[in-house]
Amino acid sequence: MHKRGDPLLLGNAWNVPTAKLFEKNGYRAIGTSSLAIANSLGYEDGENIPFEQLLIVVERIQAHVSVPLSVDMEAGYGPDIGNILKNLERIHRAGVVGINLEDSEQGKLLPKDQFSKKLTTIRNHLLKNNMKIFINARTDAFLLNDASALETTLERVRAYENAGADGIFVPFIKAKDDIQTLTAATALPLNVLSVPGLPSFDSLAQWGVSRISLGSTAFRATYRHFENLIKTIASEKSTSALF
């Protein structure tokens, strides 16, 4: 589903109703948003939600949609690689076909070799157990405003490709030259994130992007609209704004 020139638009859901709306309106695949699911259940983002609660949401979404589902796994929701592998086995049994894994923790990039080793271990485990899961390796130099974001990302993309990643996710990249440099440097599909100032889908397609994720932006926009709506109801002393 990842094609240069025809990017996959991924709707990021946080519950069954939003997942069903994405499917109803023609989205060919759905992802989860870690922030949206966590916040909707009263947790901060950053693996503060217990994996068991995340899994319940994932299982309910999977049970109600027929399009492919990918899960934002953050760093894997486990204290060590053994626990992470068990978590992956559980989401695979639930029917999930893709994951995001990120190379930063608590606002800092992990050592490149450390994250590469993690990817290789996961890839080997999936192959050994005949588990078909698309590994979207997220690298966060642009998100963290790294002083050499492009150079850092290029180094990591090459390493993660060699380590067994199926795709590369670079949140907050949006400049034409940066995107074209990356798509020229790797055969892996490049995933970009919905951020302020993101160019048009047509431009992204021309520059070689293969996937566009809404991330948490649909969640945030939904609740901005909801807040404005309930303010209107209170100020107008009428529920007419609901209809």
128-154 confidence digits (pLDDT tens): 999 999 999 999 999 999 999 999 999
Tell me the C-alpha to C-alpha distance, in Å, between residue 106 and each of 48, 75, 143, 194: 12, 11, 12, 22
**Six token digits for residue 223:** 């609740």
* Angle at the Cα of 152 from the Cα atoms of 149 and 158, rounded to 5 degrees: 135
For residues 1 and 7, give the distance between their C-alpha atoms in angstroms, rounded to a whole number: 8
**Residue the block writes with tokens 């240069």:** 4
Whether the CB-CB separation of 146 and 170 falls below 8 Å is answered with no
- What per-residue confidence (pLDDT) applies to 22? 98
Instruction: Specify the amino acid at residue 43.
Output: Y
pTM above 0.85, yes or no: yes
E-strand ranges in the chain read 8-13, 29-32, 69-72, 98-102, 104-105, 108-109, 134-138, 167-169, 190-193, 211-213
Whether the CB-CB separation of 109 and 140 falls below 8 Å is answered with yes
Mean predicted lDDT score pLDDT of the chain: 97
Provide the pLDDT confidence category of residue 53 given band limits of 50, 70 and 90: very high
- What per-residue confidence (pLDDT) applies to 35? 98
- What per-residue confidence (pLDDT) applies to 133? 98
Whether the CB-CB separation of 88 and 122 falls below 8 Å is answered with yes
Report, as an integer, the average pLDDT of 29-43.
98
- What per-residue confidence (pLDDT) applies to 81? 97
In the chain, the domains with their CATH numbers are 8-215 (3.20.20.60)
Name residues whose C-beta falls within 8 Å of residue 243's C-beta, 6 or more positions apart in sequence. none
Q: What are phi and psi of 136, to 5 degrees?
A: -100, 105
For residues 180 and 162, give the distance between their C-alpha atoms in angstroms, rounded to a whole number: 20
Percentage of the chain modeled with pLDDT above 70: 100
- What per-residue confidence (pLDDT) applies to 116? 98
Whether the CB-CB separation of 212 and 174 falls below 8 Å is answered with no
Q: What are phi and psi of 224, to 5 degrees?
A: -65, -45
- What per-residue confidence (pLDDT) applies to 141? 98
- What per-residue confidence (pLDDT) applies to 16? 98
Q: How many CB atoms lie within 10 A of CB 111?
A: 9
191-242 confidence digits (pLDDT tens): 999 999 999 999 999 999 999 999 999 999 999 999 999 999 999 999 999 9
